[in-house]
Chain A
Amino acid sequence: MFQWSFFVESLKPIIQCMPATLELTAGAVLLALALGIAAAILVRCRFHVVNVIFTVVNSFLKGIPILLFLYLLSSSMDGIMTKLAVIFNFTYNVRRPPVFAFAILALALSYIPYMCDMITTAYDTIPKGQTEACEALGFTKWQTMHRIIIPQMMVAAIPNFGNHFVNLLKATSLTCMITIMEMMGGARNFATMNQRFLEAYTACALLYWVVFIAFEKVFSMIEKRAGRYLSAAIPAKKRHRRLLMSAGRKDEEAEDRKVNIA
């Protein structure tokens, strides 16, 4: 029988694990984005060999389940850390392995190809004419990118970015398999201690959903605001200003001009 008291009781320990989920997500998204940008540049690199190599690397990363990345990295963690400790000359405490950092790394690795695709797709949606208009004015390549192309790419990428973000957020639940206490881990912990699985997992599902909804809202708001310039709708504020200004002489001149043509 489903007992509500356990359901309610389990909410608290799961909510306490929420920061861990958010930290994993934020860390992995940022790292994947940074590496994804680098990957996108390399995939679109002019040197054929480089872009072939990185296209293959991307496809490889995409083909591996996240859980496998987590197991691979956590099982080689001690080895890697001891080597790093020698190279960078620090003492590695085997009792306190950086599981959290490795979890972020594993999640990020598996999302690099998606971030990379997101960026190349965004680039491809920008009409060639935007670049040419910059070139015709005498912009350098960098000026063209950072003034005109990248801002438009960011807007074009928001919907995909939002999807990857919430998918990654859900994927953080896998990290409980390598002992990380995020929401899923918190729920499992409560469930085993109380032998109340259904209640704890239902509560966990509900809380994931709440977080999901919150981020969906945020991204759809960002999307609307950032993409305003692509819509033909004229904001009321501007319409007002236009009315004020057209009271002046400018529109009469425009009218004259039209008459002249006819």
Chain B
Amino acid sequence: MTNPAFLEVTGVNKSFGPLQVLKECSFSVNKGETVVLIGPSGSGKSTLLRCINLLEPPSDGSIRFQGKEITEDLRNADKLRAQIGMVFQNFELFQHLNAVENIMLAPMKVLGYSRHDAHDLAVELLKKVHIPDRADHLPDELSGGQQQRVAIARALAMKPKLMLYDEPTSALDPEMIREVLDVMTELSADGMTSVCVTHEMGFARRAADRIIFMEQGSIIENASSDVFFGGEVSPRAQQFLNQILH
């Protein structure tokens, strides 16, 4: 391999006390790729995502991001996180700030934007996620789908090089899932590198380059989208797919 991968996870283990949650996880993501991570509840998907931006430092193993080992420099974890966007199942918009203010906060405090520039950026991003008219609404004045799109805009405001999504549509009503997935699909099509935990197989089919299947802390399957949806999957992954598609 001449070109090192954009994100390269090698032999990552993670334990909480006696509980080993991640076992020798290895995979890589190339620039511009969208990787979908699936697996049963408790299999360690969230933990793996949180290791990538060092919200949970791995117990051991290596993570290289843009060619640089990141697990050895925990002191500068905030600088790493500033380059990696993360979107959560429960949106986690800052409850005391309205939509634009949610988007403006990190660019102002972390990147040193002026209030004026941050506001311009926020307005532009709200357009990008298709809710330009909700700028002055508080989180509890927005629907779930709108909140999640503001959360995506908030992450994008840091101009991230990688996006991590942790079940971004699991807390949403069916009619709102679509509007969030559309935004994510557009971002992927524009070349945003992303790792996404989701069980929305329609989205995986449309946007994913590769599918990773995890179980009990191990990566069991890592296949290109074509292979995966072509039916060439392990019996265990097929069984899980049948379960979530039923």
Same assembly: no
Which B residues form the contact surface with A (CB < 8 A)?
Answer: none
